[in-house]
Chains A and B, each alone.
Chain A
Amino acid sequence: MNTIKPADFYLATPNQELLLKAALFSGEDALEAWSKWRDAVDWEGHFEPGSFRLLPLLYNNLHKHGVDDSAMGKLKGIYRQAWSKNQTLFHEMAKVIEFLQNAGIKTMLLKGASLSLLYYKNNGSRPMADIDVLVPLKQARLADELLQKAGWTSPFPLTELDLIYGHAIQLHNRLDKEFDLHWRPFNGCQDEYEKDFWDGAIPVKMANVDSMSPNPTDMLFHVIIHGVAWNPVPPIRWIADAITLINSDDFTIDWQRLINTAQKHHLNLRLKKGLQYLHDNFHPLIPPSVMKTIINLPVYYLEKIEYRFMIGNRDNVSSSPFAAFCCHLCRFRRLNTGKSIFPVFKFSRSLQWRMNARNNYDLFYKGFRIAVNMLLSSPFQVRHR
């Protein structure tokens, strides 16, 4: 069997795993993990942000288990604060959703908002910094224009190349509120597969405004491919999100759809790595036959390259332009899957977009500067997309 070795990377530190178990497990397993984690953590010191985001969920689980501990007061306060922040965010963003829908633009709430409202069924357990709103690719230009008029702006105006090669833009208003407007569910999602997300979407209500959410299977796919990647804030909450989705009493994962989606998008490796990690460490309810099928999924060479850079630490800035180039190449290839000849001209255009180059000469100049800077370990800063 083509087995994966999770030991070749880590997705959570041992302490983070204890916290996750305390927040997600039931009975003695949860209490034992809580006891160990509580003794290991320095409450007065700096709290690592990835773990901090899990504390409302931890409170919820400990409360269910009747835990009586001196830390419960502060944990309850963290839960109250997360609940208040989420409610404020939902209230603000419901106006944006309503505004778009009144203009005939369909919306879908990706990531935290839908997870919180539909899958956690709790407005405090799943903190989020902002809201991600997906609109259909064909309506993205209109949505952006209307939002600009309504005071939602971006430092980088939305271009045609953004729509072709990008997937989202961050918008903010005068009150410093911000949200991410997506026109693809994730980076590198092919145009013809975008409709799969919409066709399978299910209703969700945010602050009394109707919108759509990815169905549990698409949500799980989204959570895993975003989670199995390096992030300056350790993204361990994807583990809690995925376990919550898989173990939900109210929703069922369509495993065949999950596998088909990963295959369509050439994201088998990230799905494998993510699910095997969950399976080995958190024992979610994944049928053994499904696990076997997923482990045996073929992995394309480009996926391996992309994966290598996706989990690599980008704090090492001297390697980041090279990693960014490789990831860009993989995403470009994914966007153009099914085309027998590699579209060199399009790739050059996509690189121009990626590096904010005016033309091929500018692209060459910027590429040269990056190479020199890498050699001198003082890299040229590329625009993050």
Chain B
Amino acid sequence: MSGNGYRLKINEPNIVHENIDGETVILNLDSGNYYSIVDVGADIWNYIEKGAPISEILPLIRENYECFQGDEENAVDSFIKQLQQEGLVIPIDDKLNASLLPQNWKEQITAKESRAVFNVPVLNRYTDMQDLLLLDPIHEVDATGWPSIKPLP
């Protein structure tokens, strides 16, 4: 990753997102891809949205999760790269744009009451959005709900 002040931002307006009960769902309106992230991944997304510099994300994760294996740095780094590759977040290089981001990001991030075990963040991607939107979300999905299709018997 880049230097200390290096930041990313959500690639709006073509990327829309919402946190639904701890899960962050993301829609790329240009490609039609749908993404879902939970736990560590949802927190990283939240930190980026709040304007935290990239260099601060790993310390925040270490502060909020029990990291035993020491591979959290690679996992977080790789996850952020994946977000960039999918075009979900874009870098902010120049100072002018960076100044438009919230400067009080620390105040907007609340520490977790208890530390959960660190799990490698996963970006779940669903690419056939047009078909998914036509799915019957009661009868054609599994117990976790749309967009997880019920396995064939």
Q: CB within 8 Å of B: which residues of A?
A: 43-44, 47, 52, 63, 70, 73-81, 83-85, 87-88, 91, 123-124, 207-208
Contacts and interface: CB of A to CB of B under 8 A. Distances in A.
Contacts of A47: 138
13 contacts: A47-B138, A76-B20, A77-B147, A77-B148, A78-B138, A80-B20, A80-B147, A83-B18, A87-B16, A88-B27, A88-B32, A208-B12, A208-B13
Dominant SS among interface residues on chain B: loop
Given A75-B145, A76-B145, A83 B29 contact: no
A88 B133 contact: yes
B139 interface: yes
B53 interface: no
A124 B13 contact: no
B120 interface: no
B114 interface: no
Interface residues of B, number: 27
Given A73-B145, A74-B141, A207-B13, A80 B25 contact: yes
B143 A74 contact: yes
B129 interface: yes
B145 A88 contact: no
Nearest to B36: A80
Contact of A78 (B14, B32, B137, B143): B137
Nearest to A79: B20
Contacts of B138: 43, 47, 52, 74, 78
B133 A81 contact: yes
Contacts of A84: 25, 27, 34, 129, 132-133
Contact of A77 (B14, B32, B133, B137): B137
B87 to A, nearest CB: 15
B94 interface: no
A81 B21 contact: no
A77 B144 contact: yes
B27 A77 contact: no
A307 to B, nearest CB: 35
B116 interface: no
B65 interface: no
Contacts of A207: 13, 29
Interface in B1-46: 12-14, 16, 18, 20-21, 25, 27, 29, 32, 34
